[in-house]
Amino acid sequence: MNMRAPTADLPIIFDDVTVAAGAVTILDRVTLTLASGAPTVLIGPNGSGKTTLLRTAMGLTTPTQGRVTWGAQENCPPTRRAIVFQRPAMLRRSTGGNIRYALRAAGIPRPERKTRMRELLALVGLEHLAGRPARRLSGGEQQRLALARALARDPAVLFLDEPTASLDPAATKAIEDIIRAVGRRGIKIVLSTHDLSEARRLAGEVVLLHRGRIIETGAATAFFNAPQTDEAGKFIAGELLV
Amino acid sequence: MPDDVSALQLVLAGDPALIAIVRLSLLVSLSAVFFAALIGVPFGALIALTRFPGREGVIVALNALMGLPPVVVGLAVYLMLSRSGPLGSWGLLFTPQAMIIAQTILVAPIMAALARQTIEDLWVEYRDELTAMNIRPAGRVATLIWDARFSLVTTLLAGFGRAAAEVGAIIIVGGNIDGFTRTMTTAIALETSKGDLSLAVGLGMVLIAIVVAVNALAWGVRRAGERLAG
């Protein structure tokens, strides 16, 4: 697999970013830097702003206030960024057809597409399902296909929005193994989850969000062993943040 | 009912006059559906994907145009193509081409309105993915039309149903000329008024059979397509 070094889109810098929908503030003056390196895991209860933060980092949601830069550029098209949504939409094509579509969209020359498609299918363990309609795959298989489709863009940074939500343990392990493999290829992973166990397994860096604000951020080991805020302590202890 | 018996005999015997009428009817209706789809589906997709001032008004107008009265369309096309009309020099009045033009005008709004709804529903599902993949607007339209192709079969069927059953417009611009612009619907109207119910009933049976066959074929294509592509 020809994965390029993560350069162009990183670091992603949120500078005092607010995202509001009408009277509701979804992200509240967020300042954050996402740099290359170990996976960054966004944690927090439902409605804390994790998905909106990922969408804003991807460039799909425009800040109401503040600014986001990608490699010091504003208005940077998402050529080297990719996202896997919590409920990815499957194109009405075969499993292989979905990947071929993403490869074509990424500008991969036609002669290379077949080889790349096979590599991506192998990476996510779906070689045997290449011809099956994507919408007939199981939930876990669809998540893996969405991962392969995102990787077809040869991204420098990959955003994953609750990639294992509602998956069983076996499917969760398969997805997490792929995430680790992708991370080892030098692709920056930014992942959201409300599952603390998953955060412990995958995170190099943790960002705790609550009510649209960043409560605490830091290296995963330090965060889990010595949280600096009451909210983080409660969240780690399994208490409800309301 | 002796008329029914003789009508069935006409059909079974493959009466040449009847076959010529059926052939012309299919040529006119299928051509109109083809051209209406070329115009209506991309137009519907464009409206589905774009936001502009007055968009709601365009959608309401498009929906209203689905109920265009055929005789009004026939009259408008007649005025355009008549010798003193702006397109009179084309010499198309009372030809199958004029009938195709009239039916295309009738069917295109149906195609556009139904395609708009189908594609907009799919766009809601695909929007984030296609935006994240940085797909350009033309690529989005092409993707949505392709991926909605089996749902759009219903749109084509609605258009074909309108064209195949239509008589008001084509009788005005075609003239119902025997052996040249006579279709099943215009012939049924004429033969009924003349009292020749055998041919009228025979044509009616063929018309219904064709509509059922086309719908069955489209249903089969749609089911097979969904099975293969999801």
pLDDT of A19-46, one tens digit each?
999 999 999 999 999 999 999 999 999 8
Residue-wise pLDDT for A113-154, tens only, equals 999 999 999 999 999 999 999 999 999 999 999 999 999 999
Residue B201 pLDDT > 50, yes or no? yes
What are B122's strand-pairing partners? none
On chain A, the residues whose CB falls within 8 A of the CB of B129 are 85, 88-89, 91
Using DSSP, state whether B83 is helix, strand or coil.
Answer: coil
Residue A5 pLDDT > 70, yes or no? no
Say how far apart CA B41 and CA B32 lie, in whole Å: 13
Task: Find tokens 């612009």 and name the residue.
Answer: B181
Average pLDDT, chain B: 91
From its phi and psi, is residue B32 left (phi > 0), alpha (psi between -120 and 50) or beta? alpha
Question: Which amino acid appears at position A56 of this protein?
Answer: T
Of A75 and B149, which is predicted with more confidence?
B149
Residue-wise pLDDT for B19-74, tens only, equals 899 999 999 999 999 999 999 999 999 999 999 999 999 999 999 999 999 999 99
**Residues 135 to 154 of B: which have CB under 8 A from any A CB?**
135, 139, 143, 147-148, 150
| Parallel/antiparallel/unpaired status of strands A12-21 and A65-70 | antiparallel
* Burial annotation B24-38 (CB, 10 A radius, 16+ → b, else e): bbbebbbbbbebbbe
- Give the pLDDT of residue B1: 39
Residue B143, Cβ density class (10 Å: 0-12 exposed, 13-18 middle, ≥19 buried): buried
Instruction: Give chain B's domains with CATH numbers.
Output: 2-229 (1.10.3720.10)
- Give the pLDDT of residue A7: 52
Instruction: Give chain A's domains with CATH numbers.
Output: 12-236 (3.40.50.300)
- Give the pLDDT of residue A241: 76
Residue A9: pLDDT band by 50, 70, 90 thresholds?
confident
Average pLDDT over residues A89-111: 95
Are B18 and B188 contacting, i.e. CB atoms less than 8 angstroms apart?
A: no
Predicted ipTM? 0.89
Of A75 and A225, which is predicted with more confidence?
A225
- DSSP readout, B151-210? HHHHHHHHHHHHHHH--HHHHHHHTT-TTTT--HHHHHHHHHHHT-HHHHHHHHHHHHHH
How many other C-beta atoms can be found within 10 angstroms of the C-beta atom of residue B208? 11
Which residue of chain A is at minimal alpha-carbon distance from B133? A105
Residue-wise pLDDT for B96-107, tens only, equals 999 999 999 999
Instruction: Tell me whether residues B230 and A136 touch, CB distance under 8 A.
Output: yes
How many other C-beta atoms can be found within 10 angstroms of the C-beta atom of residue A2? 10
Say how far apart CA A104 and CA A98 lie, in whole Å: 10
Say how far apart CA B230 and CA B227 lie, in whole Å: 6
CA B177 vs CA B28, B94, B171: distances in Å? 14, 8, 9
Residue A6: pLDDT band by 50, 70, 90 thresholds?
very low
- Give the pLDDT of residue A2: 47
> Any CB–CB contact under 8 A between A136 and chain B?
yes
Q: Which two tokens stand for residue A211?
A: 């009510």
Are A88 and A43 contacting, i.e. CB atoms less than 8 angstroms apart?
A: no
Residue B93: pLDDT band by 50, 70, 90 thresholds?
very high
